[in-house]
Amino acid sequence: MKLDCPLCGARDIREFHYQGAASLADRPDPDAPEAQQVFLDYVYMRDNPAGENRELWFHAHGCGAWLVATRNVTTHEFLSVRLAAAREAAP
């Protein structure tokens, strides 16, 4: 498998660390009412789609960038990759 890092180009998957679903990027407001319940969902609950999944990857043995990648988990095909720090472009 290869992942196309926006900074480094297509690199062997072994250079990357897989963190989990991209929903981890959306840390809840700790002051919101019911914050503990919201955090429980944030920390532990994941969708398990058989298809496209948005994921966080870390180019650990490369540039050190965190990436948001969309991957089809049934074919392992990466459909898009962007830098996590570059927040999503406006629709």
Q: Which positions touch another protein (CB under 8 A)?
A: 1-2, 13, 17, 19, 24-25, 27, 30-31, 35-36, 39-40, 42-44, 56, 58, 60, 64-66, 75-77, 83-87
42 binds, among another protein, Zn ion, none (CB under 5 to 8 A by kind): another protein
- DSSP 3-state assignment of 65? coil
7 binds, among Zn ion, another protein, none (CB under 5 to 8 A by kind): Zn ion
What is the C-alpha to C-alpha distance for residues 60 and 58, in angstroms, rounded to an integer? 5
Stretch that binds Zn ion, among 24-32, 42-50, 61-69, 76-84 (CB under 5 A): 61-69
Q: The tokens of 78 are what?
A: 């990466």
Instruction: Examine residue 28 and tell whether it contacts Zn ion (CB under 5 A).
Output: no
Nearest to 88 by CA among 39, 23, 35, 17: 23
The alpha-carbon radius of gyration of the chain (Å, integer) is: 14
